Amino acid sequence: MTNERPVILVTNDDGIISPGIKALVEVASEFGQVVVVAPDSPQSGMGHAITLENVLRIERVHLFGDEILAYQCSGTPVDCVKIAINKIIKKKPDLCLSGINHGSNSSINVIYSGTLSAAMEASIDGVKAIGFSLLDYSFEADFQGAQHFARLIIQQILENGLPSGCLLNVNIPKLPVNDILGVKVCRQAMAQWEEEYDERIDPRGGTYYWLTGKFVNYDNGEDTDEWALANGYVSIVPVEYDLTNQHGIRFLNKHWNI
């Protein structure tokens, strides 16, 4: 590393005015030159969506003080990372931080999460990346514990690096900072959402649905993110975007006749 401070791209999926991104920008600023490119509206559950059928707009904002270059973007979290690298920073940042998400992105939620997909997009581009989430959906959430552990983890990634093809999914329990027992490196728990649809009738007599559901963890392992969070630890799951299932390759070669 040269003497220059690292360039740190910060984004999220809750939108640029959420308290969670402000908390993350504060911590990131201690480590480098921060550039913020984040959605202009809430984008929770957008997964790895990109905007192909519509145009994108970006606009300079001054939400984080004069020192920090910040843009809101009309697109998804993944769009924010793409346009940040290609049009705003015009080079790859040294680090991409996404969050701090208002609510959990543990286990299977990594798949649905715009927060984690933004970090994954940076990782595909060869940029070290971390998604941070606090297990508190409230806009009034206390981010002090999350900030403390974000600081420790950012320090580690800058000092000790990360393998290529790997990003980090960090979840922080909703506990006072002194009650958090530490950090565990975990695997993704096997869990899923059991959908329920709330069926309603609109004023014109038409039927519509709201997606709701129940989170079901059917994984009893003590090496999972769900276990760590339930037991007072911050969870770090190293995540990959090579989705190849090696066991599936062996299975098909052995049992299929094609």
Residues 138 and 122: their CA atoms lie apart, in Å, by 27
Site for its own copies, residues 125 to 154, rule: CB under 8 A: 125, 152-153
The vertex-187 CA angle with 182 and 193, nearest 5°, equals 105
Residue of the chain from 112, 142, 151, 230 that contacts its own copies (CB under 8 A):
112
Q: Among the residues of 91-138, which ranges form H helices?
A: 109-112, 114-124
8 Å CB contact between 86 and 57? no
Q: What residues contact 192, with CB distance under 8 A and at least 6 apart?
A: 108, 215, 216, 218
Tokens encoding 141: 């959430």
Residue of the chain from 2, 204, 214, 258 that contacts its own copies (CB under 8 A):
258
Does residue number 174 form part of the binding site for its own copies (CB under 8 A)?
no
Residue of the chain from 1, 3, 4, 55 that contacts its own copies (CB under 8 A):
55
Residue of the chain from 8, 27, 37, 78 that contacts its own copies (CB under 8 A):
78
- Map residues 1-40 to x or -, x wherever contact with its own copies holds by CB under 8 A: ----------------------------------------
In terms of CB distance, is 179 or 195 closer to its own copies? 195
In terms of CB distance, is 65 or 211 closer to its own copies? 211
Q: How far is the CB of 137 from its own copies (least distance, A)?
A: 12
Does residue number 118 form part of the binding site for its own copies (CB under 8 A)?
no
Smallest CA-to-CA distance from 87 within 74, 71, 67 is with: 71
8 Å CB contact between 141 and 103? no
Does residue number 172 form part of the binding site for its own copies (CB under 8 A)?
no
Does residue number 253 form part of the binding site for its own copies (CB under 8 A)?
yes
The vertex-55 CA angle with 51 and 58, nearest 5°, equals 95
Q: Which stretch binds its own copies (CB under 8 A): 27-35, 133-141, 172-180, 203-211?
A: 203-211
In terms of CB distance, is 65 or 185 closer to its own copies? 185
Any idea what DSSP says for residue 112?
A: H
Q: Which stretch binds its own copies (CB under 8 A): 30-38, 63-71, 133-141, 208-216?
A: 208-216
Q: What residues contact 211, with CB distance under 8 A and at least 6 apart?
A: 195, 197
Does residue number 67 form part of the binding site for its own copies (CB under 8 A)?
no
Does residue number 158 form part of the binding site for its own copies (CB under 8 A)?
no
8 Å CB contact between 58 and 87? yes
Largest CA distance in the chain: 65
Residue of the chain from 50, 63, 69, 175 that contacts its own copies (CB under 8 A):
50
